[in-house]
């Protein structure tokens, strides 16, 4: 029994480290125009898993936040994922340096949760059974994608790397949230960062810096604004002119 318990403990520790690493990667790669278009499918799958786990339960560990989510809550998150790019307005990137300052680092790590919390609440006001509402959200999604691209191009032409512009844009979006939402997300982000395995945060910062330096080398060879725009367009490729299935026109 003790051997099995020891193995379980090791497995849980490894799983915990993996979840933290995945969380960091998700934040670093958060698309400036919103989550990937398959977010709906992922949210629906998560809802099914959470419902199944809630029924089975476990005497060996408490339920995770995801397992405590009701089907209604998961549906709300799914809706928020679909509306993310339409609701979160693109912002001119905040000028940042790598490694990030302690303040910017905390905001960056708190941004994903803060933005999703804001979108989840805002999404409740939209009736997706109304075709006019869906059309308006489709139009807003694509226009926000275009605006995001323009802001990134402008930032790179002004001397920033795409890594700087992406991270700065996410932080700027976070700073535009209501003060209460920012405070709550910062508190949770601070707590989460304190629980990170030793060195995990440093490695994330090193990856950011490495990407930044790599792009600096590439941009040094580009002399014109047109060259820099083409360089950005090649690297920033959201699903252009596509919208989440939830917003598609009913046929």
- 3-state secondary structure string, the chain? CHHHHHHHHHHHHHHHHHHHHHHHHHHHCCCCCCCCCCHHHHHHHHHHHHHHHHHHCCCCCCCCHHHHCCHHHHHHHHHHHHHHHHHCCCCCCCCCCCCCCHHHHHHHHHHHHHHHHHHHHHHCCCCCCCHHHHHHHHHHHHHHHHHHHHHHHHHHHCCCCHHHHHHHHHHHHHHCCCHHHHHHHHHHHHHHHHCCCCCHHHHHHHHHHHHHHHHHHHHCCCCCHHHHHHHHHHHCCCCCCCCCHHHCCCC
- Please tell me the predicted confidence (pLDDT) of residue 20: 40
Residue 98 token pair: 């790598």
And the tokens for 86? 């339409």
User: What gap in Å lies between CA 249 and CA 247, rounded to an integer?
Assistant: 6
Average pLDDT on 114-121 reads: 94
What pLDDT digit, counting tens, does each position of 199-251 carry? 887 888 899 999 999 999 999 999 999 999 999 999 987 654 577 888 988 87
Residues 163-195 pLDDT 10s: 999 999 999 999 999 999 999 999 999 999 888
pLDDT cut 70: percent of the chain above it = 70
* Over residues 75-80, mean pLDDT: 84
Element (H, E) at 226: helix 225-235
Q: Is the pLDDT of residue 31 over 90?
A: no
pLDDT confidence of residue 219: 97
pLDDT at 125: 93
Question: 34 or 147: whose pLDDT is higher?
Answer: 147
The count of C-alpha atoms lying within 13 angstroms of the C-alpha of 185, restricted to the half-sphere facing its C-beta, is 23
When the pLDDT of each residue in the chain is averaged and rounded to a whole number, the result is 80
Q: Running DSSP on this structure, what letter comes out for residue 246?
A: G
Residue 75's pLDDT is what? 81
Residue 24 and residue 16: Cα distance in Å, rounded? 13
pLDDT value of position 45: 58
Contact in structure between 159 and 222 (CB atoms under 8 Å)? no
- Give me 76's structure tokens: 């709300």
- Identify the CA nearest to 96 among candidates 10, 212, 191, 17: 212
Query: Residue 243 carries which DSSP code?
Result: -
pLDDT band per the 50, 70, 90 thresholds, residue 51: low
Q: Residue 243: what pLDDT?
A: 78
């Amino acid at each position: 029994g003790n051997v099995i318990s020891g193995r379980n403990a090791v497995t849980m520790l490894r799983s915990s480290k993996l979840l933290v690493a995945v969380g960091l990667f998700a934040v670093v790669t958060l698309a400036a125009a919103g989550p990937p278009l398959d977010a709906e499918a992922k949210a629906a799958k998560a809802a099914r898993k959470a419902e199944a786990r809630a029924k089975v339960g476990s005497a060996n560990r408490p339920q995770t936040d995801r397992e405590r989510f009701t089907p209604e809550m998961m549906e709300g998150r799914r809706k928020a994922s679909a509306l993310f790019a339409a609701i979160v307005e693109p912002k001119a990137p905040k000028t940042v340096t790598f490694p990030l300052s302690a303040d910017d680092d905390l905001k960056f790590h708190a941004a994903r949760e803060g933005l999703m919390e804001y979108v989840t609440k805002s999404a409740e006001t939209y009736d997706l059974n109304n075709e006019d509402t869906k059309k308006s959200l489709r139009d807003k999604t694509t226009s926000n994608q275009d605006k995001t691209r323009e802001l990134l191009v402008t930032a790179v032409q002004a001397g920033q790397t795409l890594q700087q512009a992406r991270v700065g844009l996410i932080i700027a979006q976070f700073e535009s949230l209501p003060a209460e939402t920012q405070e709550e997300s910062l508190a949770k982000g601070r707590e989460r960062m304190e629980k990170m395995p030793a060195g995990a945060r440093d490695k994330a910062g090193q990856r950011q810096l490495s990407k930044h330096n790599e792009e600096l080398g590439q941009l040094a060879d580009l002399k014109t604004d047109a060259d820099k725009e083409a360089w950005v367009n090649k690297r920033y490729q959201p699903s252009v002119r596509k919208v989440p299935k939830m917003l598609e026109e009913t046929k």
